[in-house]
Chains A and B, each alone.
Chain A
Amino acid sequence: MPKTIKITKGLDIKLIGAAEKTISVIQPQIFAIKPTDFIGVFPKMLVKEGDMVEAGTPIFFDKYRENIVFTAPHSGRVLELKRGDKRVLLEIRMEPDSFNKQIDFEPANPESLTKEQITGKLLKSGLWTLIKQRPYNVIANPDISPKAIFISAFGSAPLAPDYDFIINGRGDDFQTGLNVLKGLTTGKVHLNISDTTTAPEFLNAKNVEITTFKGPHPAGNVGIQIHHISPINKGDIVWTVNVQDVATIGYLFKKGVINPEVVIALAGSEVLKPRYFKTIRGGCIKKMVESNVSNAELRYISGNVLTGTAIRPDNFLGFYDNMVTVIPEGNYSEFLGWALPGFGKFSTSRSYPSFLTPGKSYVMDTNLHGGERAFVMTGKFEEVFPMDVLPLQLIKSIIFEDIDLMENLGIYEVEPEDFALVEFVDTSKTNIQALIRKGLEIMRKEMN
């Protein structure tokens, strides 16, 4: 029997528009790699506009760590290098062809390879970029051996895709991927499953330590799981990989080529037919949302509503994202909104009647529902933050940039996503996730 860890603090935000369990396959007209998806990476281009690329062709590398190479997931033609302010490279747009010519990286059994051989194959194929390091959530450093590797096998965020469904039928790839990861660490590979999972791919996984998690969001956040299994101390390095990316890594070792596809959920109250899509990593979302959303003014989010990135409806999936959420924009002003009883509005405060109907799902928009204020209320953050870290005190230490205090209060253990609910419930409407990222960046620069 795997060990069960119960998370008691947290919050499940029930939203309307969960994805129906059917998969539509689409071939996007364009796909893109967005260097902004990778923290701390400074791209040096290896291709130019008009070049033809194969699946696995290096597109750019990181100026600071030249062995970290980013490759094309699918063959096609480079359309455009889109730049933003100060010529920051935002997107490398590519047009997929119909035949997907793939570079052969040769299949191999990870269990008969050394750590160096595994690392070399992953770096060469560009799939190394799927492995991330905590603290800081940057792409892992191939030269070290992590304390452990963690995989969260369930999402608990609002409308999160069902990983049981996504992994269905890819058990072999997934297990091979786990074997690959096992070869990268002298420690354990932790597979953290939900107490409700029924997927044999997870329940029967080998070469891993399985831990069951039970409780509300953020129980599915890998950072929360790490904290409860083996918290990150100063000097510790652990790695994390998304479930689907483990299968993609496994596919490389089984077939020798890059699997271009990802399965993602399209969800949210404004989606007419919320369902799953099979598309190219970094694919344009246009075909999914076209004539499949309501007529209101909408926000398109690559990722979930708590941590995702706002994108335009003709823009691209984030590199690590496994869902797209569409919700209404909230740019209206509401007459006496703070004073009215507020039926049909969701709140953790019992000054709204929503606590009387705990099972109800809601439509939520992007309105801030109030003005920014100083921190006044206390004790609210702790209710949705299941870590032995003092959230308010850590946030304040970041505001005044006290590096020692940040370290002492546990900044290495947290990621912005772990503070998403804290930000959600915050009465003073502070952008807390951005603050946490700022704190982590200060530490990363200080420590390197």
Chain B
Amino acid sequence: MRSLRRFLDNIKPQFEKGGKYEKLQSTFDAFETFLFVPSHTTKSGSHIRDNIDMKRTMSVVVIAMIPALMFGIWNVGHQHFLSHAIDVDFWDKVVFGLWKVLPIVVVSYVVGLGIEFAFAQYRHHEVNEGFLVSGMLIPLILPPDTPLWMVAVSTAFAVIIGKEVFGGTGMNILNPALTARAFLFFAYPGEMSGDKVWIAEKADTYSGATPLAEAALGTSNPSVNFTHSISDMFFGFMPGSIGETSTFAILIGALILLVTGTGSWRIMLSVVVGGIFMGLVFNLIGLNAYMDVPFYYHLIIGGFAFGTVFMATDPVTASQTNTGKIYFGFFVGVFAVLIRVFNPAYPEGMMLAILLMNVFAPLIDHYVVESNIKKRLKRVKKNPELQAKLGAV
């Protein structure tokens, strides 16, 4: 390692101000700090600091997504061969899945990181690690048959409009990955809806509707007929976005986030409670077949589980106060189910619910902060002596 360190120290001056490659300073810095935790020491305040940093925090989230990614790769292959009614072994499915999924992941990272590096250099900042997570989230919420150029365009849109115009990581209002997904959904509705995109290179004769699409028919049809059993839905043996189908794989990720304390249990819990609450309310009303779909189905179909664990918990775009997180999560759950059932044109209510609540998160925080302030002012009011003194000043 010492020779690598020496090599970096040798070439470093060329990337500093006045050096030959000063335009690549942020890029160099990103790679250098990737390889070596910098030697910076504390200058003021606490002399010792926790070992945790942004890189490790973000890596934990990426690791938590790996079960969903791996299952997704297999399932892309599985659904493809199923539609063609070809019986192949496990590895054939994986190879097909890799062939479909890996390019999407690569395009997402290359485009996103490229833009991030450029902005970091332009602003003379260090490159933020935030996109390590977004770059993996984007492929996982896309249908497997999304054309690569669409992946590139939506990623660029998400990073530039969703994040950098607000000032970069930590300043954005909307979840960048969902911004990418919403962009595709609204910009290319023809390509992004229907039942074609959910299975890679689907055979034309195969229906392959997703459970969400089947459920959506329940608003006009007298009954909802799911092709897949509830255990298929839970374990994810169904068509859908790459990483969203398996609630089980997502729960493994949730466990990693919760044990390490990286994801907020308050948000995850309250989203689930909100979803169950709205599902139960609809079960009670029962005006159409979709409302009658048992409430627990909502938790395992579509992007509900994935959104709960990986999207709603984004600390930047969720509410930042602990009390606010509970309200935020609850309404995400409520709106996800509400949008699904009331507006079948937008079958994926989860995406819209989270984006909507992202916008309201600062408002929720505002009220939490206000109540803290009111409590403080009340203390003064209870104390006439103090009030007199303040009045006199």
A interface list, Cβ under 8 A from B: 13, 158, 231, 233-236, 299, 301, 305-308, 310, 325, 327, 329-339, 342, 345-352, 364-379, 382, 388-390, 392-393, 408-410, 416, 420-421, 423-429, 431-434
Contacts and interface: CB of A to CB of B under 8 A. Distances in A.
B343 to A, nearest CB: 31
Contacts of B46: 305-307, 420-421, 423-424, 433
B92 to A, nearest CB: 33
Contacts of B35: 335-336
8 contacts: A305-B46, A307-B46, A333-B5, A350-B259, A368-B41, A369-B37, A377-B57, A423-B49
Interface string B187-226: 0000000000000000000000000000000000000000
A318 to B, nearest CB: 14
B325 A338 contact: no
B11 interface: no
A339 B129 CA distance: 13
* Highest count of chain B CB atoms <10 Å: which of A332, A371, A389, A427: A371
Given A305-B46, A376-B315, A367 B59 contact: no
Given A339-B55, A389-B372, A434-B45, 20 more contacts: A233-B376, A234-B380, A234-B386, A301-B47, A330-B39, A337-B36, A346-B50, A347-B51, A348-B261, A351-B60, A367-B40, A368-B41, A369-B50, A369-B51, A373-B170, A375-B170, A377-B57, A379-B320, A424-B49, A433-B44
A346 B55 CA distance: 17
A235 B389 contact: yes
Interface of B: 1, 4-5, 33, 35-57, 59-60, 126, 128-130, 167-171, 259-262, 264, 266, 315-316, 318, 320-322, 325, 365, 368-369, 372-373, 375-377, 379-380, 383, 386, 389-390, 393
B57 A366 contact: no
B45 A376 contact: no
Of all A-B residue pairs in the complex, the 4 with the closest CB atoms, nearest first, are: A370-B53, A374-B170, A337-B37, A433-B45
B37 A333 contact: yes
A11 B33 CA distance: 29
B375 A351 contact: no
A189 B160 CA distance: 58
A368 B40 contact: yes
A379 B379 CA distance: 26
A408 B37 contact: no
Contact of A305 (B1, B48, B261, B386): B48
A368 B46 CA distance: 10
B38 A368 contact: yes
B45 A416 contact: yes
Given A345-B51, A376-B170, A379-B315, A370 B261 contact: no
Contacts of A388: 372, 375
Contacts of B39: 330-333, 367
Contacts of A373: 54, 126, 128-129, 169-170
A252 to B, nearest CB: 32
A350 B261 contact: yes
Contact of A427 (B1, B57, B320, B325): B57
B1 A335 contact: yes
Contacts of A329: 41
Contact of A338 (B47, B55, B128, B393): B55
A348 B50 CA distance: 7
Contacts of B321: 378, 390, 393
Q: Which of B47, B52, B266 has the most CB of A within 10 A?
A: B47
Given A376-B169, A433-B46, A370 B373 contact: no
Contacts of A368: 38, 40-42, 49
Given A338-B59, A371-B40, A390-B321, A231 B379 contact: yes
A366 B48 contact: yes
Nearest to B170: A374
A236 B390 CA distance: 10
B27 to A, nearest CB: 14
How would you classify the secondary structure of chain A's contact residues: helix, strand, loop or mixed? Answer: loop
Contacts of B36: 333-337
A378 B262 CA distance: 10
A410 B376 contact: yes
Nearest to B314: A376
Contacts of A364: 48
Interface centre among A305, A348, A389, A429 (most CB of B within 10 A): A429
A382 B171 contact: no
A235 B51 contact: no
A334 B56 CA distance: 14
Contacts of A371: 33, 38, 40, 53-54, 126
A236 B389 CA distance: 9
A379 B325 CA distance: 9
Contacts of A327: 47-48
A354 to B, nearest CB: 8
B130 A424 contact: no
Given A331-B39, A369-B49, A374 B171 contact: yes
B52 A352 contact: yes
A306 B48 CA distance: 7
Contacts of B369: 390, 393, 409
A349 B47 contact: no
Nearest to B171: A374
A188 B390 CA distance: 22
A349 B262 CA distance: 8
B50 A349 contact: yes
Contacts of B42: 330, 366-368
Contacts of A337: 36-37
A390 B43 CA distance: 26
Contact of A372 (B47, B126, B373): B126
Nearest to A369: B51
B316 to A, nearest CB: 6
B262 A424 contact: no
A351 B52 contact: yes
Nearest to B48: A364
A427 B48 contact: no
Contacts of A421: 46
B53 A420 contact: no
**Which residue, of B50, B54, B368, has the highest number of chain A Cβ atoms within 10 A?**
B50
Contact of B316 (A336, A376, A427): A376
